[in-house]
Structure 1
């Protein structure tokens, strides 16, 4: 019994809210105004949209260059700078590149050493920690 009463109450409330919203929309639309003389004459004058010129577009025009291109001398100077920087970095990074056996040993023991240091069995993380 309460189900049918609730259904009727909520149905009526929904209908009343919908009718109120519709009435508000109708009232608000009455407040707007349009000037038909300027609206109809403004559309052709603006020229929006595609315009038929009677000719095809010329796609063979080369694009404009954004910046001046490097000369051969500037290219050689930039390449020399890059090669010098590469050689400087290569000299600094040579610590572990040639000794792969030492790196493999370090990789095997690093986890155990770190675990000992975390548990407090060693003072610092070093390979000599037992």
Structure 2
């Protein structure tokens, strides 16, 4: 009984699988390397640095740019509100001059588009194409 088990484990297709696995492992270990020629040292990179002390939260952070004054803030807000009101006045209710013309356009648009696609013509390039 041991002989039969030994034959199936150590010979036949099992041997080819073990050989294939060994080749793959050798290829992986041979391809990996520890070259550090192009690596950047960690200390040379920009970023947070551990100074070994806690930050002093009582010191206010310095602003990157000059801050708006109260007068500048109010002037910009007034300009934004004026622009919003002007935009609202332009975009009031949409008035349709001729609803029947729009209904006709809606009915014909699909067939006209299919004709243009099938004819492979572009009305932007060829005005006579319909």
Give TM-score scaled by structure 2 length. 0.41
Q: Higher helix proportion, which one? A: 1
Give TM-score scaled by structure 1 length. 0.41
Give the number of the structure whose alpha-carbon radius of gyration is greater: 1
Higher relative contact order (CA 8 A, sep 6+): 1
